[in-house]
Amino acid sequence: MKTVSHFAESATKKNILKNNAEFKMITFTLPKSVSLNTLLRQHWSKRSREQKQMNDTVFALAWAAGWRREQCRRVKIIFLGSRMDYDNAIGGSKPILDALWRNDIIPGDSPKQIGLEYAFEDEGEGVRIELEATI
């Protein structure tokens, strides 16, 4: 397995001006995605252990990408080179959203609290996360 620092190198940040408010775009890539089918078949203790690891990884990558405790209101999850079907990939993104929420990167995972968007790209590997934070 590749280390967190390897993926932190691909993290980027960019400031954007939108409607006279300044936003910061924070982008980082997770090494792999998990399918909903895999999550449903895992033993609860293994799923819990992997969620804790996801929490640590997401925090480290977001910090390396320039996140500094701002609340992010928009999240885009891009599955890279994934052959999973749509519902399997979306259901498998729950550990990612939980990690973003537990690390206080997003205020919650309901549609009332954040704008959530999913996309698929043929090239690459893993899951790219794009966050939009108000400065």
- Whether residue 129 contacts residue 89, with contact meaning beta carbons closer than 8 Å, is answered with no
Q: Which domains does the chain have, with CATH numbers?
A: 4-134 (3.30.1330.70)
Q: What value does the mean pLDDT of the chain take?
A: 83
* pLDDT at 8 exceeding the cut of 80: no
Q: In the structure encoding, which two tokens stand for residue 27, read together? A: 């982008």
Q: Which residue has the tokens 């259901």?
A: 91
pLDDT in the model for residue 18: 53
* pLDDT at 74 exceeding the cut of 60: yes
Reported pTM: 0.80
The candidate with the shortest Cα–Cα distance to 73, out of 121, 134, 18, 124, is: 134
SS3 content of the chain, % helix, strand, coil (to 5): 35, 30, 35
Percentage of the chain beyond pLDDT 90 is: 48
